Structure 1
């Protein structure tokens, strides 16, 4: 086929695909409305960075000036709000079970007297780890409060023995720890989560739309007409069908990058251009996987099931919620089969650390290698387009 004829066929297929995209509201929803909704939903859900004023309770069995000061200090912590005082542990436990509070702090009877006589009183705190984030934040605040309370009691004893401020602090904190949170010094959960959740949603939608676009050609019996428009070339047919989708998805990718790094001001040490390049590579890799999925399972139902399963697993196996290096060896090896994993590593190298292309180029190459996968199954896909009979 001559170059001119190939270009003409490609243009015809692209025009045909634009008509399909603009005539079916499903595509508008999956390619534009759903991504926009997820962008706004996830970023506004965590717009405060960290959850604030998580409800907690106090069980004060001591009822002294010291115990009341401890309760006020807990309520003053940014992630904790003391909403109730309970008479005993049983009442507080039932409140946790009913979901009214995420945890409670127990101040035992005789706390103040034992602290003054150096009898090492014990304070206890209980957090509900059924809610991981809420339980973790409350645990951190309550543990810190317990340490501060212990330190305050010890400092009072040292002062009573005639120690100076410097001597008391040197005894209580012989080593001062200077901590620095790299990449996300604000400890902002939106920065931690949104930078991967947004491309993960886009990746999932790309695979599903790619599978659906080809699968509906098979289901609707229009696959032969699609191939005829490309003069029988499966490569031209796929390129012409996916290029309009690529353009739309790239616009959505540019939008979330500008939204995150421009409007919201999330850290992007290397500038936005490398992340736009990574987004384009992610889109192309996701489309390539979609082609492979519908070629393996030329039934629309099975193809969409595989695409949705692969997209959901990508979120877990990418490594942003649980480190891949801590996963079993077989899972670590399989993680390279998920485009989102490589995108996440590019994001860490480029946006967070600002290392530059010299460190992240293998992951760009890995994403581009996904484009070779459809070449392995083009013959099977063409056979399915020509001869496969859809059975509901």
Structure 2
């Protein structure tokens, strides 16, 4: 019991020392509070409409008939599409797209209306700029939709001329009606898709950097002996005291993020608050543990920060948000489990989006807790670096 009280007191002393260091260096305040809060406000306000609207396209209308003009009006009526340029020259439209002035080109050939009504099957063409993934994808969908509608409109006129009823014509044009329901995000809101991972991902990156910097700076500026002395010469006690203020601050920031996502913006939260509160708390602890492991493996501030930055940026590509992990190379599928945000993402999908029973994702909670073993694995190497490593500028 005496040893336990000594350890608790040592943790408290190290935590007080760390709080003084946090207040003394504005960089800590920026990385722990300013940067995450700025990113929350920036991304949530950037995508507050849910989907981009009025994306500019160019229309090359070589037919210039009432039918082609009707198509252009219908295309311009789509919320996500704005006909910003009408021209008779495909070259002018292509140059505008290369300059980034428009994201797509809708091409209507000569004699489109006449050929359509005589059954010659004219071809509508549309081009999108794949360099802009979201803009190109959304415009492709709108232009494809208007092309299908154009075919249906022509078929309706032709069928009417043949004396068919409207019901008969619709049955021929669309024999099977598809009823689509988007589960989890019925509004197809891009903010729901992206911000629920971007914001925790940025928080994880900041935790990596702050953890590595706080320990690495002790080595660089030769204050590690004093840190260990305050921590009763125990590297685990010293780590616990140093990271405790970080844990409290980052957890509060994480809870604020949850409040903005699921409270203020009313994003889907099928499971209630507690599973996601536990999720963000475990993400903070797991990220800190990974940060300790980074600086323990590379006990140089410069290399440790490089490791943290690289690992943190790769996270956004490998967690499965932008590209499904199941379609990656088997090696990358295995490596994806080494990133805390991967398990956070899977818990988020199961709990917040789908509202599944906890038993289906308990393994990912365990995986986040398993990251906390890392400081114990690297403790001896880290203590040796704190005691004997000589920083070379």
User: TM-score normalised by the shorter chain: which range applies?
Assistant: over 0.9
**Number of paired residues?**
392
Separation (CA, whole Å) in 2 of partners of 1:162 and 1:268: 53
Separation (CA, whole Å) in 2 of partners of 1:105 and 1:6: 71
Q: Which residue is 1:143 aligned to? A: 144
Separation (CA, whole Å) in 2 of partners of 1:13 and 1:98: 57
Indicate the RMSD between aligned Cα atoms, in angstroms.
Answer: 0.8
Per-residue CA deviation, residues 222-262 of structure 1 (Å, 9 max, x unaligned), is 00000000111111000000010000000000000001000
Q: Which residue is 2:99 aligned to? A: 98
Q: Which residue is 2:50 aligned to? A: 49
Q: Residue 18 in 1 paired to residue 48 in 2?
A: no
How far residue 356 of structure 1 moved from its aligned partner, in angstroms, is 2.6
Which structure 2 residues correspond to residues 55-74 of structure 1 after superposition, within 5 A?
A: 55-74=56-75
Separation (CA, whole Å) in 2 of partners of 1:184 and 1:380: 47
Separation (CA, whole Å) in 2 of partners of 1:236 and 1:299: 21
How far residue 32 of structure 1 moved from its aligned partner, in angstroms, is 0.2
Separation (CA, whole Å) in 2 of partners of 1:190 and 1:338: 23
Secondary structure of the residue aligned to 1:82 is strand
Q: Which residue is 2:236 aligned to? A: 235
Separation (CA, whole Å) in 2 of partners of 1:115 and 1:173: 18
How far residue 301 of structure 1 moved from its aligned partner, in angstroms, is 0.3
Separation (CA, whole Å) in 1 of partners of 2:160 and 2:4: 90
Separation (CA, whole Å) in 2 of partners of 1:86 and 1:96: 13
Separation (CA, whole Å) in 1 of partners of 2:109 and 2:9: 83
- Mean Cα deviation higher: 123-132 or 1-10: 1-10
Q: Which residue is 1:132 aligned to? A: 133
Q: Which residue is 1:185 aligned to? A: 186
Scaled by the length of structure 1, the TM-score of the pair is 0.99
**Structure 1 unpaired stretches of 5+:** none
How far residue 266 of structure 1 moved from its aligned partner, in angstroms, is 0.4
Separation (CA, whole Å) in 2 of partners of 1:171 and 1:356: 45
Separation (CA, whole Å) in 2 of partners of 1:236 and 1:374: 11
Q: Which residue is 1:5 aligned to? A: 6
Which structure 2 residues correspond to residues 1-392 of structure 1 after superposition, within 5 A?
A: 2-392=3-393
- Mean Cα deviation higher: 28-37 or 355-364: 355-364
Secondary structure of the residue aligned to 1:84 is strand
How far residue 7 of structure 1 moved from its aligned partner, in angstroms, is 1.5
How far residue 161 of structure 1 moved from its aligned partner, in angstroms, is 0.9
Separation (CA, whole Å) in 1 of partners of 2:377 and 2:128: 53
Separation (CA, whole Å) in 1 of partners of 2:276 and 2:217: 33
How far residue 103 of structure 1 moved from its aligned partner, in angstroms, is 1.0
